[in-house]
Structure 1
Amino acid sequence: MQRGKGMKFVEDSRIPAERKPNIPKDYSEYPGKTEAFWPNFLLREWMIGAVFLVGYLCLTVAHPSPLERVADPTDSGYIPLPDWYFLFLYQLLKYEFAAGPYTVIGAVVMPGIAFGALLLAPWLDRGVERRPFKRPIASGLMMLGVISVIFLTWESVDEHDWEAAAQQGEIVDDIEVDEESEAFEIYLNQQSCIGCHGGDMLGGAAGPSVFASEYTAEEVKDIIENGLGDMPPGQFDGTDEELETLAEFIANDGQDPNGDGGDDE
């Protein structure tokens, strides 16, 4: 017999020369360790998803989203507040280096770099190590990002004027002001009042509606004379009789207390 005839030489005699296709074994050969995708696995995932969906729907019914008054695009004094997951970006835009002429940096450049780096992380860091202390750069940047988001969110919540926000967003009943009354004419002659509370007395850029609180006529008169909060005193330019008439008008929610439209004669 010729030498080598009928023999096959390989580098390792334990490896067969014939290559078999890389086909995984059937799941039936691993009882208890795997299962069919359809219907076993998929049906189980659907059941779990349905439980979470029903729970979420129950939560939305029990705690509906809070609603505010109808948006007024002319109200420049409104203090906006985004949803909680955007609070860190909202706070970032308050800083000098990310606001004013640098708004593009705070609104586009910085978030773009952060989210772009997160998107490209699998290509930028191709290390095989999975332990955080073995990848100090990636772990450090991730911790820096998490700490920054938490800090900015906390700062936004802490600095926000929640009391003012609740008042400005409070839903109030529509008030029909009697514009034919004598008191309304008195109000229109007070330019300092109109500048804050608007020409219809329902609020403007710097002040709320004069009917927003349940004050008595005497309390309204005292506020007009002595001021309250950001409202300075001594802004009324009229007689004592006119002040009394205006105070009663405001306390009566924009209606002439005499019901005669101001025609007393």
Structure 2
Amino acid sequence: MNFLKSIGWETHLKPFLYKKLPQKTGWSAVLGTLCAVAFIIMTITGMILAFYYVPSPDKAWDSVQFITNEVPFGSLVRGLHHWGAGTMVLLVFCHLMINYLNGSFMAPRQITWVTGAFLFFVVLGLGFTGYLLPWDMKAYWATIVGANIPNSYPGIGNFITRFILGGDGMSGFTLSRFYAVHTLILPACLLIFMAMHIYLIRVHNLSDPRERVAGEKLPEETGKPYRFFPEHMNRSSIAMAILLVGLFSLAYFVPVHMEDKAGTFIADYLPRPEWYYMWLFQLLTYFSGTWDMIGSLVIPIGGALLVLFVPFISESRMKGIINRPISLAIGTTFIVCVTFLTVMAYQEAKPYNKTIVIPSGTLTTEQKAGLKIFVERECAYCHNILGKGGHRTGPDLSNVVRKHRTAKYLANYIEKPTSVFPSSTMPAYALKPEELNNLAAFILSLDFKKNGQPIEVSTEELRKSWK
């Protein structure tokens, strides 16, 4: 009895465990518990991985290989961490979306919603920072593309990119910075917001499904109570068992693929992020030039602010999915759009259509030589011309003439991109001066008003004609 008193059983723990919840609480309420369980799994597996991981460009990739192939159960632990990350993003998103559709963010639970939204953003941040740590090609290039998204922001864009990367480009500073943020700063933020979230839930309780209008007086519940323990924990235990079986199955039967070490040159390599960021990468392809900021700033940042301030801008007092048709329409539209963008992103992640657009007019000897270099170096993999050809990870080269670029400017940019644009993600090409001039001449020939109508030709056919 003295022991129970010393741990505050009667005053703190017992009221916490046996707290009454609304009797009509649905199964969706277990999502909050599953989010906490996923975080615990990520913490345990992350600590095990940290025992063996070396956060340096020279050792990171090798240390992950060692974990996967040499450490007992290392592949399983890494798989749990990998699949757990994506699962945690999905669980927090579903938890947030269901509460939005039900109107559970209304008074007095506005700050509960805000802390939940911050938890979602922190989880996304953990996914982004953890993505780089294996230091393979996929992680390296996807991080470069992601870190360069703020470049289109006026005034502070370049500063933000340099701050993220720890300098002008990817380096050991980038890796150590991401490692520190991933293992120290963001987990601390997650713990703080999680503690606040749980505290506010204990203060205001779960939203009662019987409510049709926020704040309405409800009759006292009768019959068997529904408590956090044992009733809610019984449900949560079933959901936890399903979650654990699913994660262990994925970790065992679908081991995490490791790509080549960062820095390996692959001409037609396509940077791509994890599935929960694919929609954003696809969104960016629809905005270029002066419209870049719409896809990189206005939509994502504006959307995040809307999520945060939903409780303060929503005028409806109705609760429950059935009673909130507008919210249901907005939520459904959002899910459909994100799903569509994600599917489109995976479609475009397939091998690209190897064609190139050139002017119908006769090219000079210098321009023909530049065209050959353009094809052999797989420039069309990143760059398109008039929206056709490769993936849109690089700018459309048909815009170069309109920007009044000179051959010297283009040659310097191709030879060493970061000397012209410090945050460029384009790799440097070791070409001879004559080759640089020829390639620049071909790019400048893409003036379709001057050199003839655009025609689309197969790069394979061009290669055959050069043999």
Structure number with greater Rg is: 1
Q: What's the TM-score, normalizing by structure 2? A: 0.27
Q: What's the TM-score, normalizing by structure 1? A: 0.44
Structure showing the higher helix proportion among its residues: 2
Query: Greater relative contact order: 1 or 2 (C-alpha under 8 angstroms, separation 6 or more)?
Result: 2
